[in-house]
Chain A
Amino acid sequence: MDVHPILDEWLEQWVWPTPFRGPGIDFRMRITTERLIPVWNRIVHQALERAKVLEERFNQGDYTGALGGYSGEGPRMSMNQMSTQLLSVPVAEQEKYLDLLRMRARQLWDEVKHGSLHADVLILGGHVQRETDLMAEAAANFRGSRSYFGLTASFPHIHPLARAAQNYHTEAGACLGIRCTLEVNEHPLAIHENLSQYYEELMHFMEGKYQMDMFCLTPEDQRPVEEALDYLLSPAFIESSGR
């Protein structure tokens, strides 16, 4: 399998660098090489194709993507996804996962920002005059993907480390997708919509990397990650999520 140069560079910058040896890192390296790189490679190839479509849409004043982004991110995403996770760690375990909970709070902030960015595209692109106009538009308030909200809320009640699989794998996909978009797109609104999102998705990825390196030290700790990946890498999920 030929690893795309964009993926190769990304692995070198963000995935391979480790601060120490240890079982958590060995575990992460194993699942990355065995299970994830083939999927990430496919994502890069797909994303490069999609980026061209997105650029064409921007050039034609078609803001379907921004409408979908607005309905998917922002306060809606924050409240559904993040608060579910914040509430899912048992009180007795809160101290152990405290900083991970703070990262969830941080992601609330990120997702609201992403909503603002999509709103910006819609306003600056002339689709609406004011953000409140979007309240009357179905496409700005509806998310068709069945799994979208359920999936992201479904892991934490299993085990806090199940979220690590999502942080690591799903956010890697998001990072690579945005990286490819930024590689291809020259439209200023496309860059505006995506630039800070890239940094923020990379932040969530790092959370997953960190959780695995530091906490996935025993087979018992690693199992929730493997099982979450079983779901995220299943054909049914990949098809429903469009990746």
Chain B
Amino acid sequence: MKVYISQEHCIACGLCREVCPEGAVHPKFQDIHHWFEVTPDACTGEAICLEYCPVPEALVQYEVATPSGV
């Protein structure tokens, strides 16, 4: 499982960025807004961010598809 940020709901408070132990949350690349995004490769799915996020739908967990036959 990993986490992504739903831009429709996120209020860009920055808490997830502060608490993520992997530093996986960054300002959205070359973006004009205050928005953040998760770097999927850096996300280890600990989901500590979920415990601090003030907006219920802003952080979404998803299953990482595993390649078949590996």
Contact = CB atoms under 8 A, between A and B. Distances in A.
Does chain A touch chain B in the assembled complex, meaning CB atoms less than 8 Å apart? Answer: yes
Interface of A: 109-110, 112-113, 116-117, 120, 123-124, 130-131, 188, 191-192, 195-196, 199
B26 interface: yes
Contacts of A120: 26-27
Contact of A131 (B23, B29, B30, B31): B23
Interface residues of B, number: 11
Interface of B: 14, 17, 23, 26-27, 29-34
Nearest to B35: A196
Dominant secondary structure of chain A at its interface with chain B: helix
10 contacts: A109-B34, A110-B34, A123-B26, A124-B26, A131-B23, A192-B27, A195-B32, A196-B31, A196-B34, A199-B32
Contact of A196 (B17, B26, B33): B33
Dominant secondary structure of chain B at its interface with chain A: loop
A192 B14 contact: no
Top 5 nearest A-B pairs (CB, nearest first) are A192-B30, A199-B32, A196-B32, A130-B23, A116-B27
Nearest to A199: B32
Contacts of B26: 116, 120, 123-124
Contacts of A116: 14, 17, 26-27
Contacts of B23: 123, 130-131
Given A116-B14, A117-B27, A130-B23, 12 more contacts: A110-B34, A113-B14, A113-B27, A120-B26, A123-B26, A124-B26, A192-B29, A192-B30, A195-B32, A196-B31, A196-B32, A199-B32
Contacts of B34: 109-110, 113, 196
Given A123-B23, A130-B23, A131-B23, A191 B14 contact: no
A196 B32 CA distance: 4
B53 to A, nearest CB: 17
A204 B27 CA distance: 20
Nearest to A198: B32
A195 B31 contact: yes
Contacts of A117: 27
